[in-house]
Chain A
């Protein structure tokens, strides 16, 4: 094994949703996640970036088997966890947790914070006593910057940022190894977002967690991530160490995405490039390269053949799915 051990290997993971176009036609498929492979190094933050409809959320949920995959493997500890039976899988439910985007919907409105956090422990730590549970809840609340007395309150008594802390506490109290963070700060204001981002960063270091960080916001990726994969219409179009990809985005889509991000600096000098068109329907994605309908550098070849993910400039860590990756 190389210097960084891989915690999670995702191989050719796919999730197709069947839809009926009309009563008499055969069913069509939305290829929400289309043969995605990722290697998530132990202790890293792996960011999955994309716009709405790119399949990033479905990817996160399929990895956790919250949605059954159409095909592919998720390998942890040398085992394909997707093929485990229910009993054996339970252990991985604990090891792999998730924090959802909207803290207003992800916490049960009629349960006390204590009950919300304790629920998982009662399932996963059999035979654990009430006082032990209470103690762990107190510790975890403190870790996420809340106080002991907060456990006797209901979710509606908290602000968005505090609720997201509770959701995070619920995830980490089970001592997971891997946490999927699905747009954890998108619903929050900037000053609160900064606090939650810092908390995520610090807790990761303390507890040796590994994150899959799903987001549409590249500036947050730059703050938090070590690795990044850019998704477009269900496929990974570029992937690599964050610093490499950000310094040298090779896929036109990555570059345009970075370019579209508004810069909070009126003195910034930059060429503004606008991506034309909108993300096409995933039911009937464009032939060839799926980005060709919007790509400013499109060539005839792109419309016919689909490029594969190839190392960029011979660097096997930085791969790009483009016939004509940007060189400058």
Chain B
């Protein structure tokens, strides 16, 4: 199997969740890959599987969920074939993750400084007491008043401060990949701008790759250089940011871009007809076909392959699958 992307290569990832309603087919063959230092934005609507993808990379999918098929190559090694002890070496050290609601990701009854120290202690295999000077450094690094924060508990922090703490913890081990799951969605716009600026600065300094999961096209347009659009557990379109916005190919991507309001937008918004399918009983073939204005017979029968339509521009759609082999769609 050829490896694509020298940092991360997710291949045909299938994840299911067993529930009383039936089996949720959350990921249905997700494809994505990243190079070192790259910033990948993963976008899609609620339930498209973007968070499950991130959790799979961290191997945090637990019962009743199961990774059924696929490979996740991280620096050439398949994470899904590793023993849990090996994975623990990678988790938090080479790959770390920050979450949407930073205050609920912190333990409410422990001081923030202790929680950061605990992470550093674990990663560096040092006693917790000995790493407190590093905690102060980290707090300064993320633009916080370190002296004051050393004795504070999570509830004393604002959302923005808590997210800074999380970013500090996430970057403390100098990971090769930081997964940020909707890191600014719970924050006000002015605070969101601050956090994105901070992340941008730190990541440029440290040179690590970032997988930014977001529902906000604006956030990924500003932060990421590569974008994956997901729909109902599939990779729909994968391209460099500018290419994706300039020449969106998948009907879902096009629909999404037409539905986003923005300041100064003069054309009428266009909604995508229908609703996101229930993944206990997903549509056959292309999972988007019921909402797609261009649906053809074969879309209902077989899932379209994920192919390179023009250089570095991948789409899973029959409208373009014939163009494989370098043909450029204008």
A residues at B contact (CB < 8 Å): 51-52, 159-162, 189-195, 197-198, 216-220, 222-223, 246, 256-267, 272, 274-276, 278-279
Contact = CB atoms under 8 A, between A and B. Distances in A.
A219 B272 contact: no
B188 A279 contact: yes
B245 A266 contact: yes
A160 B275 CA distance: 10
Contacts of B190: 51, 256-257, 260, 274-275, 279
A275 B214 CA distance: 22
A263 B272 CA distance: 21
A327 B24 CA distance: 56
Contacts of B270: 194
B230 to A, nearest CB: 13
A219 B262 contact: yes
17 contacts: A159-B276, A189-B45, A191-B45, A193-B261, A194-B270, A197-B269, A198-B268, A220-B261, A223-B265, A246-B263, A257-B190, A260-B190, A261-B263, A263-B221, A264-B260, A265-B262, A274-B190
B197 interface: yes
B265 A222 contact: yes
Contacts of A264: 216-218, 221, 245, 257, 260, 262
B121 interface: no
A280 to B, nearest CB: 11
A219 B261 contact: yes
B269 A194 contact: yes
Contacts of B282: none
A219 B260 CA distance: 9
Interface string B211-238: 0000111110110000000000000000
B191 to A, nearest CB: 6
A266 B242 contact: yes
Contacts of A52: 188
Given A191-B271, A191-B272, A274-B197, A51 B263 contact: no
B255 interface: yes
Interface residues of B, number: 43
Given A219-B263, A264-B260, 7 more contacts: A190-B45, A190-B215, A190-B256, A217-B261, A264-B262, A267-B242, A272-B193
Contact of B189 (A162, A193, A257): A257
A159 B275 contact: yes
A191 B189 contact: no
A216 B188 contact: yes
A189 B263 contact: no
Sorted nearest first, the 8 A-B pairs with minimum C-beta distance are A262-B218, A195-B271, A264-B217, A194-B259, A260-B193, A189-B45, A194-B271, A51-B188
B221 A266 contact: yes
Contacts of B261: 193-194, 197, 217, 219-220, 222-223
Contacts of B191: 278
A220 B259 CA distance: 11
B265 A219 contact: yes
Looking at chain B's contact residues, the main secondary structure is helix
Contacts of A189: 45-46, 215, 276
Contacts of A266: 221-222, 241-242, 245
Given A264-B217, A278-B158, A258 B263 contact: yes
A159 B278 CA distance: 11
B228 to A, nearest CB: 15
A266 B189 CA distance: 18
Interface in B173-232: 188-194, 196-197, 215-219, 221-222
A308 B257 CA distance: 41
B102 interface: no
A218 B269 contact: no
Contact of A222 (B216, B217, B246, B262): B262
B262 A267 contact: no
Contacts of B49: none
B194 A275 contact: yes
A198 B271 contact: yes
A216 B259 contact: no
Contacts of B272: 191, 194
A248 to B, nearest CB: 13
B241 A190 contact: no
Nearest to A261: B189
Given A159-B275, A257-B190, A267-B242, A222 B263 contact: yes
B22 interface: no
Contacts of A198: 268-269, 271
A262 B269 contact: no
Contacts of A162: 275
A170 B242 CA distance: 43
B246 to A, nearest CB: 8
Contacts of A260: 189-190, 192-193
B92 interface: no
B154 interface: no
A197 B262 CA distance: 13
Contact of B275 (A161, A190, A274): A161
A191 B259 contact: yes
Given A278-B158, A278-B160, A193 B242 contact: no
Given A190-B217, A195-B271, A218 B263 contact: yes
B264 interface: yes
Contacts of B275: 159, 161-162, 192
A27 B221 CA distance: 47
